[in-house]
Amino acid sequence: MTLTSPTIQEQGKAASTAARRLAATSTEVKNAALIGIAESIEANRKSILRANEQDLETAKRYGLDFHMMDRMTLNNARVKDMADAARNIAALEDPIGETLEKRDLPNGLNLEQVRVPLGVIGVIYESRPNVTIDIATLCLKSGNGVVLRGGKECILTNTVLAGIVKNAIEEVGIPRGAVQFVESTDRALVKEMLEMDDSIDLMIPRGSAELVKFVGQNAKMPAITGGVGVCHTYIDADANLDSALKIVVNAKAKRPTVCNALDTILVHQGVAREFLPSLAFEFGLHDIELRVDGRAMSIMGAVVDGAKVSSAQSDDFGTEFLALIASVKIVDSMEEAMEHIAEFGSKHSEAIISENTEAIEQFLNEVDSGAVFANTSTYFNDGAQFGLGAEVAISTNKLHARGPMGLKEITTYKWKVRGQGQVR
Amino acid sequence: MTLTSPTIQEQGKAASTAARRLAATSTEVKNAALIGIAESIEANRKSILRANEQDLETAKRYGLDFHMMDRMTLNNARVKDMADAARNIAALEDPIGETLEKRDLPNGLNLEQVRVPLGVIGVIYESRPNVTIDIATLCLKSGNGVVLRGGKECILTNTVLAGIVKNAIEEVGIPRGAVQFVESTDRALVKEMLEMDDSIDLMIPRGSAELVKFVGQNAKMPAITGGVGVCHTYIDADANLDSALKIVVNAKAKRPTVCNALDTILVHQGVAREFLPSLAFEFGLHDIELRVDGRAMSIMGAVVDGAKVSSAQSDDFGTEFLALIASVKIVDSMEEAMEHIAEFGSKHSEAIISENTEAIEQFLNEVDSGAVFANTSTYFNDGAQFGLGAEVAISTNKLHARGPMGLKEITTYKWKVRGQGQVR
């Protein structure tokens, strides 16, 4: 018997229909599905790893770079992490059904604002196969259907993982259709998916900056176009400079390829002479390249020893480096630092290092970013670190959700109005 | 001396800069500005009315229709209403600065999620001059800058009103620039405004369905594209039919030109024979045209007396009539009614009339609209009726805000993270 694969449009419709039933599914049933997914991942460890090995062999033949290969590789520990992630999501509070507001109007109408799922979430992602489990389980817990479109390089691994999820939800009575996995790797399908605003309520791109940009520009439905972080740390005149040094090293060096990594250090002129030489030394130890403005150069040029310091070009400000590179600028005041951030930042993550409470509060109040930090590292801008339990994306949108997006951030609400024949 | 008018892009930038100061303005100062606006509207009643008369004369020359003329006309009572609207907004709670969440993380970081303004709101509106005051005062209270672009037909009235607002805010120390009024009526500016995503955070169109559609398709920034309501009322097998009749008459006839007016009545077959003849009679009294499906026609065709009943064409379902017209369809079950709503509705306002609590709860849970009603009229879907105090728009978007949008719905949040040198 030959089965024709459904079109991606049919998959969208099927997710939409199934999502209506999923929306009315109890927390207990959803959690049972999540535990089922975790157990099935562990029980099927060998076939997951086998599929992953095949994907890796193909990738090798196509000459994928080491970084990409590393991201897509699974092993026993990473498989266990996926199972644990599903269990963690089972342990989180169910956001659905929460009453956000309730009031009785003078005319006797009873008004209730209730949290409900968005409907269907579309996800386009690359390389890392754990995204299949992460996103599918977050959508499941939040009562949303999902259409998953993973990268070609992990197609076999993702197919096995999606099958595990579909079987586990069916096992507890949730329609299989709530989780749709696009098996074709035809690139044209991405464009088609972005036009399915009749069935997909929110699109989440997970991958390169180009992918995020493409989705943002082409999606007919709302899309989370976060992920690009041009992150600043301002070293105030009243900063504890030892602490400042430790923090900027952490924010830059710990994981330079993520969106919350530091890009630009703004240094108050009052502490520049003391701070910049030790910055050059310390960054030199961590092999971090510094691109500095003229005033900073006049201080750092003389003291460079093993440090990679060069003059900043204009595009070194406002750039997300995603590498062991940072730019440095001396400012005359906190106001100048805040102006610079307003002009060059991406409203993602910004920090102030200061012992002056008044300056801290002004900075936290006036800098318009999704997350603003005092005396700590922008690298903390992360759903798990914030205790949201899990993270779909970090949004730099201002509407709907800002910063790390967890379960609540992929829901909406509706008003229920109960009357006894009232008219207006 | 000749002053060159600023370009609309310059106005956007100016609003953006001023909005940063407005965001940090206290509730007391914002309320003082609102009271100042109310008093100044009353003090300047005569010049407002004079400008309005001039606008009306021009409109007459251009042959504007009666409906449009009525909407743009001010009189003593309407001027007083505008002043009262500003006072009402002063009396509402300030949404800004509210702590939405707060937690201390195990590593000692203190996390706070705080409500903040969106930034700058752009509004493109037509005819009714009170929108100038409504929107400017809502933006002011919520700490948002605003760029106002009213219709050509009310340019003189709107200019006077915008001047009153700008003077009143300057009086209390808020920068004039926070409220920008576009004085040129060049239509090309609308398109330009929709491209200013670097300075405008949210675009709100207030006017015809075409305007809303144009903004939705052309705005580079997020836009509230609500306002189109294809609203259903389902008459259940267990409905109180007297109450049902009163409610559908209200939902259709009270104000047929608004988005929350009834468009389609779905009648359970078990009560169709009893309900439809009285519906035809009652709607006939209110001069409402009925377009009914085949099954309904077989019942209603025989009893028509003074009623305007005709056979529904396929596009009579899924249409927002905005007129004294309603379509009728008989359904075999509530499930069929909900399927019809899912297929033809615009997720705006839907109602069930029933005495069966179980049916009511299922309908309220499963119908995916911004507001769902039991035993009352969809005409209640309104910010003021819901007690939100005021309304910017009714959103049919699912993301960010759904249903009536008041003050809270034009805000966002940020995370403040306070540390003592923590690194990750």
Whose tokens are 């959508």? That residue is A139
pLDDT tens for B200-247 read 999 999 888 788 889 988 998 989 877 678 999 999 999 999 999 999
- Segment holding A353, helix H or strand E: strand A349-353
One domain, residues A36 and A174: yes
Q: How many CB contacts within 8 angstroms connect chain A with chain B? A: 194
Angle at B25 between CA B23 and CA B31, to 5 degrees: 115
Q: Which residue has the higher pLDDT, A306 or A392?
A: A392
Q: How far apart, in whole angstroms, are the C-alpha atoms of residue B6 and residue B14?
A: 10
Does the CB of B368 have a partner CB in chain A at under 8 Å?
yes
Please tell me whether residue A202 adopts helix, strand or coil conformation.
strand
pLDDT tens for B172-187 read 999 999 999 999 989 8
List of chain B residues whose C-beta atoms are within 8 Å of the C-beta of residue A240: 421
* Structural tokens at position A125: 């992602």
Percent of residues, chain A, with pLDDT higher than 70: 98
Chain B, 251 to 310: residues with Cβ < 8 Å from chain A are 251, 254
Confidence at residue B248, expressed as pLDDT on a 0 to 100 scale: 98
One domain, residues B122 and B265: no
pLDDT tens for B252-263 read 999 898 889 999
Residue B15: alpha-carbon gap to chain centroid = 23
Residue pair B232/B341 in contact by the 8 Å Cβ criterion:
yes
Does the CB of A377 have a partner CB in chain B at under 8 Å?
yes
- Would A130 be classed as within a structural domain? yes
**What value does the mean pLDDT take over residues B8-14?**
96
Q: How far apart, in whole angstroms, are the C-alpha atoms of residue A231 and residue B262?
A: 50
List of chain B residues whose C-beta atoms are within 8 Å of the C-beta of residue A202: 398-399
Q: What's the burial of A241, exposed, middle or buried (CB within 10 Å: 0-12/13-18/19+)?
A: middle
Distance from CA of B150 to the nearest CA of A (A): 24
Q: How far apart, in whole angstroms, are the C-alpha atoms of residue A216 and residue A225?
A: 6
pLDDT of residue A216 exceeding 50, the answer is yes
pLDDT tens for A228-253 read 789 999 999 999 999 999 999 999 99
Contact between A418 and B23 using a beta-carbon 8 Å cutoff: no
- Would B390 be classed as within a structural domain? no
Distances (CA, A) of B413 to A72, A401, B16, B390, B393: 35, 8, 17, 21, 20
Confidence at residue A327, expressed as pLDDT on a 0 to 100 scale: 98
The string over A311-323, giving b where at least 16 C-beta atoms fall within 10 Å of a residue's C-beta and e elsewhere, is: ebeeebbebbbbe
Residue B88: alpha-carbon gap to chain centroid = 17
- Would A317 be classed as within a structural domain? yes
CATH number of the domain to which A53 belongs: 3.40.605.10
List of chain B residues whose C-beta atoms are within 8 Å of the C-beta of residue A364: 416, 418
Q: How far apart, in whole angstroms, are the C-alpha atoms of residue B337 and residue B332?
A: 8
Does the CB of B78 have a partner CB in chain A at under 8 Å?
no
* Residue A209's pLDDT band (cuts 50, 70, 90): confident
One domain, residues A200 and A129: yes
pLDDT tens for B56-94 read 999 999 888 887 888 899 999 999 999 999 999 999 999
A interface test, pick of B113, B231, B380, B410 with most A CB neighbours within 10 Å: B380
* Residue A403's pLDDT band (cuts 50, 70, 90): confident
Q: How far apart, in whole angstroms, are the C-alpha atoms of residue A400 and residue A408?
A: 11
Contact between B412 and A398 using a beta-carbon 8 Å cutoff: yes
List of chain B residues whose C-beta atoms are within 8 Å of the C-beta of residue A387: 103, 105, 111
Which of A325, A343, A422, A330 has its CA nearest to residue A105?
A422
Q: How far apart, in whole angstroms, are the C-alpha atoms of residue A41 and residue A23?
A: 25
One domain, residues B240 and B170: no
One domain, residues B55 and B81: yes
pLDDT of residue B251 exceeding 70, the answer is yes
- ipTM score for this prediction: 0.86
pLDDT tens for A361-379 read 999 999 999 999 999 999 9
Confidence at residue B178, expressed as pLDDT on a 0 to 100 scale: 98
pLDDT tens for B373-419 read 999 999 999 888 888 777 788 888 888 888 888 899 999 999 999 99
Residue B372's domain spans which residues? 231-384
Confidence at residue B302, expressed as pLDDT on a 0 to 100 scale: 65
Contact between A414 and B201 using a beta-carbon 8 Å cutoff: no
Confidence at residue B395, expressed as pLDDT on a 0 to 100 scale: 86
One domain, residues A379 and A329: yes
Contact between B419 and A118 using a beta-carbon 8 Å cutoff: no
| Total domains in the fold of chain B | 2
Distances (CA, A) of B396 to A111, A337, B346, B349: 18, 40, 7, 9
One domain, residues B219 and B239: no
DSSP string, A88-101: HHHHSPP-TT-EEE
The bridge status of strand B110-117 relative to strand B99-104 is antiparallel
Q: From B113, which residue of chain A is nearest by alpha-carbon distance?
A: A371
Of the candidates B240, B403, B424, the beta carbon closest to that of A377 is on B424
* Residue B342's pLDDT band (cuts 50, 70, 90): very high
* Structural tokens at position A187: 């690139």
User: Side chain identity at B56, as an amino acid letter?
Assistant: L
Which of B49, B95, B109, B93 has its CA nearest to residue B74?
B49
Confidence at residue B410, expressed as pLDDT on a 0 to 100 scale: 94
Of the candidates B380, B387, B414, the beta carbon closest to that of A372 is on B414
pTM tops 0.95, yes or no: no
Contact between A398 and B376 using a beta-carbon 8 Å cutoff: no
pLDDT of residue B304 exceeding 90, the answer is no
Of the candidates B116, B402, B421, the beta carbon closest to that of A414 is on B402
- Would B216 be classed as within a structural domain? yes
Query: Up-side HSE of residue B2: CA atoms within 13 Å toward CB?
Result: 1
Angle at A12 between CA A8 and CA A15, to 5 degrees: 135
Confidence at residue A302, expressed as pLDDT on a 0 to 100 scale: 65
A interface test, pick of B111, B343, B422 with most A CB neighbours within 10 Å: B422
Q: How far apart, in whole angstroms, are the C-alpha atoms of residue A151 and residue B334?
A: 42
One domain, residues B162 and B259: no
Point out which residues pair with B415 in neighbouring strands: A371, B113
One domain, residues A196 and A103: yes
Q: From A120, which residue of chain B is nearest by alpha-carbon distance?
A: B398
Percent of residues, chain B, with pLDDT higher than 70: 98
- Would A43 be classed as within a structural domain? yes
Among A202-211, B78-87, B99-108, the least confident range: A202-211
Q: What are phi and psi of B423, to 5 degrees?
A: -130, 165
Among A94-98, A254-258, A336-340, B44-48, the least confident range: A254-258
CATH number of the domain to which B319 belongs: 3.40.309.10
pLDDT of residue A380 exceeding 80, the answer is yes
- Would B262 be classed as within a structural domain? yes
- Radius of gyration of chain A from Cα atoms? 24
Contacts of B191 (CB under 8 A, 6+ apart): B218
- Would B393 be classed as within a structural domain? no
DSSP string, A109-167: -EEEEEEEE-SEEEEEE-S-THHHHHHHHHHHHTT-EEEEE--GGGHHHHHHHHHHHHH
Distance from CA of A103 to the nearest CA of B (A): 9
B interface test, pick of A247, A366, A412 with most B CB neighbours within 10 Å: A412
pLDDT tens for A272-286 read 999 999 999 999 999
- Segment holding B101, helix H or strand E: strand B99-104
pLDDT of residue B1 exceeding 60, the answer is no
Contact between A413 and B400 using a beta-carbon 8 Å cutoff: no
CB neighbourhood size of B289 (10 A): 16
Please tell me whether residue A403 adopts helix, strand or coil conformation.
strand
A interface test, pick of B17, B109, B240, B357 with most A CB neighbours within 10 Å: B109
Distance from CA of B62 to the nearest CA of A (A): 36
First to last CA, chain A: 60
Q: What are phi and psi of A388, to 5 degrees?
A: -80, -5
Distance from CA of A414 to the nearest CA of B (A): 5
The single-letter DSSP state of residue B72 is: H
One domain, residues B190 and B63: yes
Angle at A230 between CA A300 and CA A393, to 5 degrees: 145
Q: What are phi and psi of A352, to 5 degrees?
A: -120, 140
pLDDT tens for A126-135 read 878 999 999 9
Please tell me whether residue A411 adopts helix, strand or coil conformation.
strand
Does the CB of A374 have a partner CB in chain B at under 8 Å?
yes
Confidence at residue A1, expressed as pLDDT on a 0 to 100 scale: 42
**What value does the mean pLDDT take over residues A329-357?**
96
List of chain A residues whose C-beta atoms are within 8 Å of the C-beta of residue B354: none
Percent of residues, chain A, with pLDDT higher than 90: 80
Confidence at residue B124, expressed as pLDDT on a 0 to 100 scale: 95
Angle at A190 between CA A188 and CA A195, to 5 degrees: 105
* Residue A168's pLDDT band (cuts 50, 70, 90): very high
One domain, residues B218 and B74: yes
Distance from CA of A381 to the nearest CA of B (A): 9
The bridge status of strand B99-104 relative to strand B403-405 is unpaired
- Would A391 be classed as within a structural domain? no
Does the CB of A167 have a partner CB in chain B at under 8 Å?
no
pLDDT of residue A2 exceeding 50, the answer is no
Residue pair A303/A290 in contact by the 8 Å Cβ criterion:
no
Contact between B201 and A360 using a beta-carbon 8 Å cutoff: no
Distances (CA, A) of B178 to A11, A212, A271, B414: 47, 33, 35, 21
Residue pair A231/A350 in contact by the 8 Å Cβ criterion:
yes
One domain, residues B152 and B249: no
Ranges assigned E (strand) in B49-98: none
Q: How far apart, in whole angstroms, are the C-alpha atoms of residue A258 and residue A255?
A: 6
Does the CB of B412 have a partner CB in chain A at under 8 Å?
yes
The string over A124-158, giving b where at least 16 C-beta atoms fall within 10 Å of a residue's C-beta and e elsewhere, is: bbbbbbbbbbbbbbbbbbbbbbbbbbbbbbbbbbb
